[in-house]
Amino acid sequence: MEIRIGITNTGRELSFETSESSDAVKKSVASALDSGATHVTFTDTKGNSYIVPTAGLAYVELGTEESRRVGFVA
């Protein structure tokens, strides 16, 4: 699933793919915001970790969980 995160006062967005479900990502973001945590952590499919400050979150866009199709469609 692809995740795109907008950060305030930044011209670019953070975009990566993760193997986590959309429900798990929603829960981690919501619990970080509700508890007043200073950051939320994500891990992509390559094993890279991203620490995003919750104060700077502008938006979190979750893509679909479908895998990309390879090949030709007849």
Q: Counting Cβ atoms within 10 Å, is residue 72 exposed (0-12), middle (13-18) or buried (19+)?
A: exposed
**Domain interval for residue 11:** 2-62
Query: The pTM is what?
Result: 0.76
Q: Does 69 fall in a domain?
A: no
**Alpha carbon distance 74, 57 (integer Å):** 42
Identify whether 74 is part of a domain: no
Establish if 35 belongs to a structural domain.
yes
Instruction: Confirm whether 32 is domain-assigned.
Output: yes
Q: What is the pLDDT of residue 66?
A: 64
- Domain membership of residue 56 (yes or no) is yes
Asked if residue 71 is part of any domain, the answer here is no
Render pLDDT for 12-32 as a digit per residue (tens, 0 to 9). Answer: 999 999 988 889 999 999 999
Q: Structurally, how many domains does the chain consist of? A: 1
